[in-house]
Amino acid sequence: MANPDCNPNQEMKDLAVQLMDRYPEHFPTFDPDMVIFLKTESNTKPKWDGRVMACKYQFRIGNPYLYAIEIDSSWWEEYSPEQRQFCMYHQMCHIPSGGFDPESKEYAKVLPHSIQDFPEVLGAAGAAFDWRRQGEQLQDLMDSATMDVVFCDDDEPSDDKPSDDEPSDDEPSDDEPSLDDEDETSVENV
């Protein structure tokens, strides 16, 4: 019999699938059928809203799950639709790209947070540094007008060098506006 305080949640799985479809470059190997999405209830509201756990070998016997994404129901019910998107996006980012590949050294591993800073610094940099806070103005991650998030992987240096017919990072291409252009409309405020 299923634990009544820990129920698989189709709404959370559907949201993960939507995020995968919207950001395929961020989640190219994510397999929602190998993740159990749980909305849990507790007697007291925990400090954390969600967490990701790699399923232990004993748990995997007889079921396909490598990971569990657990969201506390008291947080989930309070969140706006945009906060739920950010919460699920955040949890999905804890699963490495090789997490579902038995040949990968990342198989069934959970990634720690990749950035740690003060909220004031992140806010000054333009980040929605506290998406958990009620009333925070957040972008709808599913909106096609939302700017794509760019990931920089500092762990693996790139050997990519511009070819002779590609402009280098130092030189703008003919298609891109330059800060030296006379036309002021080409410079956007960021």
| pLDDT for position 144 | 66
| pLDDT for position 187 | 29
Cα 15 to its chain centre, rounded Å, is 12
| pLDDT for position 106 | 95
* Domain-wise residue ranges, the chain: 6-144
| pLDDT for position 163 | 38
What string of pLDDT tens digits covers the 190 residues of the chain? 344 456 689 999 999 999 999 999 999 999 999 999 999 888 888 888 899 999 987 676 778 899 999 999 999 999 999 899 989 999 999 999 999 999 999 999 999 987 776 666 666 666 666 666 655 567 777 876 665 554 444 344 333 333 344 444 444 444 433 323 333 332 233 2
| pLDDT for position 104 | 96
Q: What is the CATH number of domain 6-144?
A: 3.30.2010
Q: Is 93 exposed, middle or buried (0-12, 13-18, 19+ CB in 10 A)?
A: middle
